[in-house]
């Protein structure tokens, strides 16, 4: 199959919406990362997503809708807190897990009786959903285990030959995935930190629990290998002492014949002297925006170890720490 990268035009939105209606897969931009979409009410179409990504079938998909009416179409009963959260944060990088309606096939929910729903902010995504006339289930549009795609080119590199269309909306604004919040337990519970920082959620939702990753798969996707480039990733978690330990690791790796690179904020680069760096930008928001793209860039430039700077916890920093721990496979220095 040929894979076409299409600019966002009304003709291309229609072409892709027709493909979704016909049970095909379409990759599309959102404000977080690119999604690999299919008609969420069509079991066969949803199953194609798992095959294209090489995704385990017990890892459920997020259903993307364009409005709160779209949420009602797939959720049994919208709890009052969901309405409050929707008013504050939707469209945006927040996904809510609620009891599903029977019309949502189990291929979408990994056999669970709940469904994860979000209203993306990207206008291309909203146009595609509206033109399709159906909810669109979509995981991130990467091969399973790889860093999530934040440009159409990343999607192409992973899924070339496996999907007909990629809508190209440029680089995703936020760069890491949505925050997943479970509303089916007694207290709302963050299953995956993401683009919406927990502090902002607490302002509206009050007290929140954070799911512990103790082997019980609350958010089934979190148990799998994630966000991994070909290079090995080392995560420098100890924020205060990190520049010295990063230099020591870099030198040790270089001496043993490896080709390491330090992923750092541009303001910290001078601490590393003439060692190779990949600068992720000035702020933590820049770091989030560039993290996945730069992990892929490290592979393109043939580095075989990425030493990633840690960040302070809180705000988008807590989501960044989560992604860095995952992409390093827990190799913390
Ligand atoms: O920003 C995002 O969320 C992107 C864009 C494309 O919307 N999507 C995304 O999808 O990150 P994915 O499949 O890569 O991650 C979805 C996460 C997985 O960890 C999955 O296990 C969890 O959401 N999830 C989905 N449905 C769930 C459910 N019913 N209960 C608990 N967790 C669920
Ligand atoms: Mg993903």
Distance from Cα 139 to the centre of ligand 2, integer Å: 6
Is 219 within the bounds of a domain? no
Quick one: 75 and 172 in the same domain?
yes
Is 313 within the bounds of a domain? yes
Quick one: 200 and 266 in the same domain?
no
What is the per-residue pLDDT for 238?
Answer: 78
Of 151, 177, 210, the position where a domain reaches its end is: 210
Q: Does the C-beta of 140 come closer than 6 Å to ligand 1?
A: yes
Question: Which tens digits make up the pLDDT trace of 185-238?
Answer: 889 999 999 999 999 999 999 999 888 764 444 556 555 668 889 999 999 987
Which numbered atom of ligand 1 lies nearest the CA of 36? 6
What is the per-residue pLDDT for 275?
Answer: 98
Quick one: 45 and 95 in the same domain?
yes
Distance from Cα 13 to the centre of ligand 1, integer Å: 24
Nearest CA to ligand 1 atom 17: 221
Residues with CB under 5 A from ligand 2 (ion): 140
Residue 115 has pLDDT above 50, yes or no: yes
Which numbered atom of ligand 1 lies nearest the CA of 180? 23
Q: Which ligand is nearest to the CA of 36?
A: 1
Find the angle CA(4)-CA(293)-CA(252) to the nearest 5 degrees.
140
What is the per-residue pLDDT for 224?
Answer: 61
CATH label of the domain that carries residue 280: 3.40.50.11030
What range does the domain containing 157 cover?
4-210
Is 74 within the bounds of a domain? yes
Quick one: 21 and 155 in the same domain?
yes
Quick one: 72 and 185 in the same domain?
yes
CA distance 297 to 150: 12
Q: Residue 274 is encoded by which pair of tokens?
A: 């003439």
Count up the domains in the chain and report the number.
Answer: 2
Question: Which tens digits make up the pLDDT trace of 250-278?
Answer: 999 999 999 999 999 999 999 999 999 99
Nearest CA to ligand 1 atom 20: 221
Q: Does the C-beta of 192 come closer than 6 Å to ligand 1?
A: yes
β partners of residue 64? 118, 136
State percent of the chain over pLDDT 70: 96
Q: Does the C-beta of 31 come closer than 6 Å to ligand 1?
A: no
Residue 32 has pLDDT above 50, yes or no: yes
Is 221 within the bounds of a domain? no
Is 223 within the bounds of a domain? no
Give this prediction's pTM. 0.96
Quick one: 60 and 138 in the same domain?
yes
Q: Residue 50 is encoded by which pair of tokens?
A: 């798992």
Is 170 within the bounds of a domain? yes
- Give the helix ranges, DSSP H, for 139-223: 152-159, 198-205
Q: Are 88 and 96 in contact (CB under 8 A)?
A: no
Of 210, 240, 274, the position where a domain reaches its end is: 210
Q: Does the C-beta of 150 come closer than 6 Å to ligand 1?
A: no
| Mean pLDDT rounded to a whole number for the chain | 94
Is 333 within the bounds of a domain? no
Quick one: 81 and 123 in the same domain?
yes
Quick one: 69 and 128 in the same domain?
yes
What is the per-residue pLDDT for 223?
Answer: 59
Quick one: 293 and 250 in the same domain?
yes
What is the per-residue pLDDT for 298?
Answer: 98
Question: Which tens digits make up the pLDDT trace of 274-331?
Answer: 999 999 999 999 999 999 999 999 999 999 999 999 999 999 999 999 999 999 988 9
Of 210, 242, 264, the position where a domain reaches its end is: 210
CATH label of the domain that carries residue 201: 3.90.870.10
Which numbered atom of ligand 1 lies nearest the CA of 220? 21
Is 218 within the bounds of a domain? no
Nearest CA to ligand 1 atom 6: 35
- Give the helix ranges, DSSP H, for 136-214: 152-159, 198-205
Residue 105 has pLDDT above 60, yes or no: yes
What is the per-residue pLDDT for 242?
Answer: 84
Quick one: 279 and 323 in the same domain?
yes
Give, for ligand 1, the residue of 28, 37, 128, 219 to mutate: max count of ligand atoms closer than 8 Å to Cβ.
219
Question: Which tens digits make up the pLDDT trace of 74-96?
Answer: 999 999 999 999 999 999 999 99
Distance from Cα 84 to the centre of ligand 2, integer Å: 26
Q: Does the C-beta of 183 come closer than 6 Å to ligand 1?
A: no
CA distance 53 to 159: 8
Quick one: 193 and 59 in the same domain?
yes
Which numbered atom of ligand 1 lies nearest the CA of 59? 21
For 243, the 3-state DSSP assignment is helix
Quick one: 236 and 206 in the same domain?
no
């Amino acid at each position: 199959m040929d894979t076409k990268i299409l600019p966002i035009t009304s003709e291309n939105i229609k072409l892709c919406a027709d493909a979704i209606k016909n049970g095909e897969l379409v990759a599309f931009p959102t404000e977080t990362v690119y999604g690999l979409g299919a008609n969420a009410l069509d079991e066969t179409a949803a199953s194609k997503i798992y095959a294209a990504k090489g995704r385990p079938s017990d890892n459920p998909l997020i259903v993307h809708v364009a409005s709160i009416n779209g949420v009602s179409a797939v959720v049994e009963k919208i709890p009052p807190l969901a309405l409050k959260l929707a008013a504050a944060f939707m469209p945006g990088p927040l996904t809510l897990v609620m009891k599903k309606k029977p019309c949502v096939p189990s291929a979408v929910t990994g056999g669970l009786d709940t469904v994860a729903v979000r209203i993306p902010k990207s206008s291309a995504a909203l146009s595609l959903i509206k033109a399709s006339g159906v909810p669109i289930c979509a995981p991130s549009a990467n091969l399973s285990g790889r860093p999530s795609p934040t440009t159409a080119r990343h999607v192409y590199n992973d899924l070339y030959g496996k999907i007909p269309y990629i809508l190209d909306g440029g680089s995703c604004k936020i760069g890491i995935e949505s925050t997943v919040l479970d509303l089916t337990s007694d207290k709302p519970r963050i299953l995956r930190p993401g683009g919406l920082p927990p502090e902002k959620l607490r302002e509206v939702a009050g007290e929140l629990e954070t799911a512990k990753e103790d082997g019980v798969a609350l958010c089934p996707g979190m148990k799998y290998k994630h966000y991994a480039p070909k290079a090995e990733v080392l995560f420098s978690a100890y924020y205060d002492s990190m520049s010295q330990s990063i230099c020591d690791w870099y030198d040790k790796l270089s001496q043993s014949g490896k080709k390491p690179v330090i992923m750092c904020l541009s303001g910290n680069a001078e601490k590393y002297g003439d060692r190779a760096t990949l600068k992720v930008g000035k702020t933590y928001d820049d770091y989030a925006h560039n993290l996945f793209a730069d992990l892929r860039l490290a592979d393109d430039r043939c580095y075989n170890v990425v030493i990633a700077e840690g960040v302070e916890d809180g705000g988008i920093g807590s989501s960044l720490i989560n992604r860095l721990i995952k992409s390093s496979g827990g190799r913390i220095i």
